[in-house]
């Protein structure tokens, strides 16, 4: 039997969610923001976070890639990549991406390799983990971005959930 290093319970779970109001991304093949959630400054402490993002595409002309970022502004400029999906086949009209990270005041925000291009963290992955330099003492936008492989397709976010376990 293993030794319990710490048995302190999670004392607080806080959730943020967006399920409507996303922008449709159409006519371009660049990585674009479809929606975001603003996380209050100081809300994330030592513990863990979970992020789930969902996007729906109309049209089957090209691929779809979904990405999650964190930034102090609602912009991709200077944003920290938290996760990227593989390029879904043109026939895939629905993509969901999930990430879990552990937050430590000293070690930072540790997550599966951000550019690893897997749909969730329940995947055997041989890449090095990412230590994201996120200052949770500031407000952080959790950003859902999508990139169409064809300008004739249209994609918009269908849900963005951010859970905090402190």
Assess if residue 93 is contained within a domain.
yes
Q: Please report whether residue 126 resides in a domain.
A: no
Could you tell me if residue 27 is inside a domain? yes
Tokens of 79: 């944003």
The total number of structural domains in the chain stands at 1
pLDDT over 90 at 62, yes or no: yes
Question: Is 75 domain-assigned?
Answer: yes
Strand partners, 142: 37, 70
pLDDT exceeds 60 at position 3 = no
The reply to whether 88 falls in a domain is: yes
Predicted confidence (pLDDT) per residue in 33-47, tens digit = 999 999 999 999 989
Q: What is the pLDDT of residue 160?
A: 98
Q: Is residue 106 scored above 90 in pLDDT?
A: no
The pLDDT-based confidence of 55 (bands split at 50, 70, 90) is very high
Q: What is the pLDDT of residue 74?
A: 98
Confidence band for 132, pLDDT divided at 50, 70 and 90: confident
Q: What is the mean pLDDT of residues 72-92?
A: 95
| Mean pLDDT estimate for the chain | 88
Please report whether residue 6 resides in a domain.
Answer: no
94: its two tokens? 């629905």
Q: Per the domain annotation, does 58 fall within a domain?
A: yes
pLDDT given at position 110: 80
Q: Which CATH number characterizes residue 54's domain?
A: 2.60.120
Q: What is the domain range of residue 114? A: 13-121+132-165
Assess if residue 127 is contained within a domain.
no
Start-to-end CA span in the chain (Å): 27
How much is the pTM? 0.89
pLDDT of residue 152: 97
User: What Cα–Cα distance (Å) separates residue 69 from each residue in 31, 91, 123, 150?
Assistant: 12, 25, 20, 22
């Amino acid at each position: 039997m293993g030794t319990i290093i710490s048995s302190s319970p999670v004392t607080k779970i806080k959730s943020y969610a967006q399920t409507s109001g996303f922008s449709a991304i159409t006519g371009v093949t660049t990585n674009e923001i479809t929606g975001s959630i603003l996380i209050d400054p100081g809300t994330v402490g030592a513990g863990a976070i979970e992020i789930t993002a969902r996007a729906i595409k109309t049209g089957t002309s090209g691929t779809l890639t979904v990405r999650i970022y964190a930034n102090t502004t609602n912009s991709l400029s200077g944003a920290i990549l938290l996760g990227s999906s593989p390029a879904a086949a043109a026939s895939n009209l629905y993509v969901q991406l999930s990430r879990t990270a552990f937050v430590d005041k000293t070690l930072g925000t540790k997550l599966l390799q951000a550019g690893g291009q897997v749909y969730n963290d329940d995947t055997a992955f041989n890449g090095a983990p990412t230590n994201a330099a996120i200052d949770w003492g500031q407000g952080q936008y959790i950003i859902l971005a999508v990139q169409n492989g064809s300008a004739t397709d249209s994609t918009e976010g269908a849900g963005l959930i951010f859970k905090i376990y402190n």
